[in-house]
Amino acid sequence: MQVEHVILLLLAATAAGWVDAVVGGGGLIQLPALMIVNPAQPVAALATNKLASIAGTSSAAVAYLRKAKPDLQVAVPAGVIAVCAAAGGAVCAAAISSDVLKPIIMVVLLSVAALVVLKPDLGRVPKLVLRTRRRLAAAILVPGIVIAFYDGLVGPGTGTFLVLAFTTLLGSDFVNASANAKIINTGTNLGALVVFSLQGEVLWAIGLAMAACNIVGAQLGARMAINRGAGFVRVVLLCVVTALVIKLGYEQLT
């Protein structure tokens, strides 16, 4: 691998770690960089992306555990379930065309953007909600199964979907929702990585180097999110959603 390609991947991994730690969506940066460097092996790019990402998300999860207040009653069981759901998604990754999924993902992302714009108070401060059994079950199963399966299958936007799930289902502010998301995202990355490893798709040498850079970015991102609060996370969230929509729209048209 050429030196300039290595530099590109390490910079992309650092930036992706920062974005993932704040609000999710680091795959928007990291995965395309891997595809540019190694276009002939798309599954290897997905697999190596998971190796780098799990280092950053687990590192960010530890940082949030120290400073923020993740809802462990929900995040831990959802994270355990997510390992299996994401593994199932990774197994199905080769069987389902991304061309079928991209329009659906775009509609969901546009809905996310509209929700955040039309409800400016969403996620700014914690909202008191009645924690019924049904609501708690939804807060565990939607992130732990539905979003986790999607992460193993495709990936981009997973962290963003997790943050929105917790703000809408539990009334969490964006910072605490990000803390919950990191725990579950660690589980989804682990499940997919195990499958890709067994398939022999992971590029370990460059993946481990990217993992180290992802941790650096994740630590910086988590600290900024905690220190600057929900308003900062909201702005980053809108930027990431907009970028994802533009990226997917461009891919549909070309």
pLDDT for position 234: 82
The yes-or-no verdict on residue 94 having pLDDT over 70 is: no
Q: Are 125 and 172 in contact (CB under 8 A)?
A: no
Q: At what angle do helices 133-141 and 158-170 cross, to 10 degrees?
A: 180
Q: Band the pLDDT of 116: cuts 50, 70, 90.
A: low
Q: Band the pLDDT of 206: cuts 50, 70, 90.
A: very high
pLDDT for position 244: 72
The yes-or-no verdict on residue 27 having pLDDT over 90 is: no
The yes-or-no verdict on residue 188 having pLDDT over 90 is: yes
pLDDT for position 130: 80
pLDDT for position 248: 67
pLDDT for position 87: 94
| 157 or 65, which is more confident | 65
Segment 188-205 shows an average pLDDT of 93
Q: Are 216 and 17 in contact (CB under 8 A)?
A: yes
Segment 216-241 shows an average pLDDT of 88
| 164 or 110, which is more confident | 164
Segment 7-19 shows an average pLDDT of 94
The yes-or-no verdict on residue 90 having pLDDT over 90 is: no
Question: To the nearest whole number, what is the mean pLDDT of the chain?
Answer: 86
Separation between Cα atoms, residue 91 and residue 153, nearest integer Å: 8
- Token readout for 45 is 């790019």
Query: What are 39-84's pLDDT values in tens digits?
Result: 767 788 888 999 999 999 999 999 998 888 889 999 999 999 999 9
What's this model's pTM, rounded to 2 decimal places? 0.84
Could you give the C-alpha distances from 216 to 96, 104, 212, in angstroms and in order?
A: 34, 33, 7
Count of CB atoms within 10 A of residue 243's CB? Answer: 16
What DSSP line would sit under 153-208, residue for residue? Answer: HT-TTHHHHHHHHHHHHH---HHHHHHHHHHHHHHHHHHHHHHHHHTT---HHHHH
- Token readout for 2 is 């050429």
pLDDT for position 62: 92
The yes-or-no verdict on residue 15 having pLDDT over 90 is: yes
pLDDT for position 31: 82
Ranking 201-210, 223-232, 236-245 by mean pLDDT, the lowest is 236-245
